[in-house]
């Protein structure tokens, strides 16, 4: 039964690749406002999920120093991936990284593979925890996939081709989930993925999402983004209290 939940969650995550098609139906100004709101909420949700769920759960099962060490390993690995592959979460309709669109897909594929492993590990801890972790992953995948699709189209890739390649990159989530389930089902390895993932989520929020919010100069939109950020934090805290 757990495998069923893992597969459903991983497939839902993979299908998020097609959310980019939404950008084709919206005016540019509306699209950018949507992305901005999602980025703000996602930043808060990622930080809340990393601390209130992933790190909190791991501290109950492994030594504190080991948990924090794995958190920093995850943080550093995501930093290396981004630097080595020039991988950036583009949250606007236009970016300056057109020549490296293929590298975006490669970096995203690695990231989604890790997401799949984390999804499987979370469901192996408990089903409610797996659901929370899946929601956490989805909150940052939606703005990322919208941005990635926009970049691929802008760089000259046909829209149908961009959707297809984006889906292939996103589908590595399923591979990561299945490998984790079949090879680490009866081991304690899965619990070590939780602080590792927390480090990755903290990196994404601090390095990619929050800097995007600082680019907004309008005071009202800045206040709105901060409220959405707090809402993301509060949502994850509420989920923690609800499922305890």
The count of domains in the chain is 1
State both tokens at 44.
């808060």
* pLDDT tens for each residue of the chain, 244 residues long: 889 999 999 999 999 888 877 766 777 777 777 777 877 888 888 898 889 888 988 898 899 999 999 999 989 988 887 776 554 444 444 444 444 456 567 657 777 888 898 899 889 888 988 998 898 888 777 766 776 676 566 566 777 787 888 899 889 999 999 999 988 766 677 688 888 888 988 988 888 778 888 888 888 888 998 999 999 899 888 877 876 6
What pTM value is reported for the model?
0.70
**Which residues, including other chains, have CB under 8 Å from residue 7's CB and lie 6 or more apart?**
174, 177, 178
Radius of gyration of the chain, Cα coordinates, nearest whole angstrom: 17
204 touches 77 (CB < 8 A): no
35 touches 20 (CB < 8 A): no
Compute the distance between CA of residue 155 and CA of residue 223 in angstroms, rounded to an integer. 33
State both tokens at 171.
């589908």
The boundaries of the domain holding residue 189 are 2-243
Question: Of 178, 169, 209, 162, which is closest to residue 50 (Cα–Cα)?
Answer: 209
State both tokens at 197.
């993932």
State both tokens at 12.
């839902």
């Amino acid at each position: 039964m757990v495998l069923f939940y893992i597969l459903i969650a991983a497939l839902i995550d993979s299908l998020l690749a097609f959310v980019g098609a939404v950008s084709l139906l919206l005016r540019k100004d509306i699209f950018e406002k949507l992305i901005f709101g999602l980025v703000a909420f996602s930043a808060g949700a990622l930080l809340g999920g990393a601390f209130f769920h992933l790190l909190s759960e791991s501290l109950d099962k492994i030594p504190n120093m080991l948990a924090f060490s794995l958190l920093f390993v995850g943080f550093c690995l995501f930093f290396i991936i981004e630097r080595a592959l020039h991988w950036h979460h583009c949250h606007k309709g236009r970016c300056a990284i057109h020549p490296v669109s293929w590298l975006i897909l490669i970096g995203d594929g690695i990231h989604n593979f890790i997401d799949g492993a984390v999804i499987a590990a979370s469901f192996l801890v408990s089903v409610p925890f797996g659901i929370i972790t899946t929601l956490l992953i989805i909150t940052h995948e939606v703005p990322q996939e919208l941005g990635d699709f926009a970049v691929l189209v802008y760089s000259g890739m046909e829209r149908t081709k961009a959707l297809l390649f984006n889906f292939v990159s996103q589908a590595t989530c399923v591979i990561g989930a299945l490998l984790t389930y079949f090879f680490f089902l009866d081991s304690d390895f899965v619990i070590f993925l939780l602080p590792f993932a927390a480090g990755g989520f903290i990196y994404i929020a601090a390095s990619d999402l929050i800097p995007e919010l600082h680019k907004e100069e309008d005071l009202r939109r800045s206040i709105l983004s901060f409220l959405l950020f707090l809402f993301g934090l509060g949502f994850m805290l509420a989920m923690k209290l609800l499922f305890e």
